[in-house]
Amino acid sequence: MSLNLNQISLAGNLVSDPEIKTIGGTQLCKLRVATNERWKSKDGSKQEKVTYFDVDVWGNHAAPCAQYLSKGQPVYIQGKMECQETEKDGAKRKFWTVRADSVQFLGNRADGPNIENRVTAGDPAPRKPAPAADPDNEVPF
């Protein structure tokens, strides 16, 4: 039995608009997400740390991410960390990225519908939100 302990969950805001491209016939949507950590130091002053993550969204759920997400929008991402190595001018470099298994859209775009959507690995397209309830037919509890 093997355990996969390479898991990461992020909640943050998009730093830029998504970039979509096709690699080897498969769509890739690249996201850049910022997370904020806030705390008070021992002397009582407020502290803040921002961490940036590069996120890769592959396959069928790349297009909905590119279509519905935009700069500044909050997202919740679950996935795993991947290390990519490159070599330039004889120097090796490592880049860490998050390979998304699930992307949840939080909030809305200014120019589009209010969406609260989730795209999960294996989903052909995002699920549509439930229609708003009719106030005349609502049950009061």
Q: How far is CA 88 from CA 23, 54, 93, in A?
A: 21, 20, 8
Fill in the amino acid letter for 141. Answer: F
- The predicted structure's pLDDT at residue 118: 56
Measure the CA angle with vertex 113, ends 109 and 118; round to 5°: 80
pLDDT above 60 (res 126): no
User: What is the architecture, at CATH level 2, of domain 8-38+48-125?
Assistant: Beta Barrel (2.40)
Kindly tell me if the per-residue pLDDT of 20 is higher than 70: yes
Using pLDDT thresholds of 50, 70 and 90, give the confidence band for residue 113. Answer: very low
Quick check: pTM over 0.75? no
Q: What is the pLDDT of residue 119?
A: 58
CA distances from 113 to 29, 73, 89 (A): 21, 13, 47
Q: What angle do CA 58, 23, 59 make, to 5 degrees?
A: 20
